[in-house]
Amino acid sequence: MNGILLVLSSPSGGGKTTIARRLLERRPDVGYSVSATTRAMRTGEVHGRDYWFLTPAEFAARVEAGAFIEHARYGGHEYGTLREEVERRLEVGHHVVLDIEVQGARQVRERVPGAVLVFVLPPSGGELIRRLRGRRSESTESLRTRLRTAVEELGSVGEYDYVVVNDELEQAVSAVSAILDAESAHVARQQGLNERIDHIRQRVAAEADGLPANQQQPGGQQA
Ligand code: 5GP
């Protein structure tokens, strides 16, 4: 079975990163694509785990080399999904989660057929504001920018395939996990499905053809 590229977007503070991490803990068949960014490392973040922290020149060189599936500018910094991060996970049959903003999600939808886009919605405006204010690294200016960006991003939900409300974390993780399972069962994703069905049909048709005429089946009705 082929792995699915699953995009999770939400306004900053919407909870998509936590959902992605929890999904990874629950499912060994899911990998996380570590993005590259030019923004400064926050306390507690680890290079190569949370992001690949690059200088603007390093980032630009990778753009030039075609290393990104998508990239976008957000909050004054560059962010991008490295092709290599995604491909090496898909190759071993894992699903891959991308935690990216809406411009990047749009690029993935255009460039990667079969990608599944999920928008994580905060339960309310008040809750989103509370979560954003709780981020100590935000200056008033950057908080204002993120609030305004959130208003814009919420206008893009209709471009996504699914929406999950992040009210209770474990339920939201279960909903995303169920989306992965449903998409995996999609007819269009089944490799060798036609051959398999042909095989079953041939076997059943041969059984029908091989029945002698007018033989009564046990328990069958008298004609
Ligand atoms: P933060 O700086 O708070 O970690 O992330 C800011 C925004 O950038 C979030 O919405 C996050 O999902 C998004 N982001 C993280 N990695 C990528 C990426 O590789 N590509 C794009 N387009 N956005 C990303």
What is the model's pLDDT at position 136?
Answer: 64
User: Which of 84, 100, 148, 153 most suits a substitution to test ligand 1, by most atoms within 8 Å of the C-beta?
Assistant: 100
Domains in the chain with CATH codes: 5-189 (3.40.50.300)
What pLDDT is attached to residue 214?
Answer: 82
* pLDDT for res 96: 98
Mean pLDDT in consecutive groups of 10 residues from the start of the chain, 223 residues = 90 89 96 96 95 98 98 94 96 95 97 97 93 77 87 96 96 98 94 95 97 76 54
Distance in angstroms (rounded) separating the CA atoms of residues 186 and 114: 11
Torsion sign, CA atoms 104, 176, 85, 46: positive
In ligand 1, which atom is closest to the CA atom of 68? Answer: 19
- Return the exposure string of 141-152: e unless at least 16 CB atoms fall within 10 Å of the residue's CB, then b: eebebbbebbee
- Which of 17, 63, 69, 74 has most ligand 1 atoms within 8 Å of its beta carbon, as the pocket-test mutant? 74
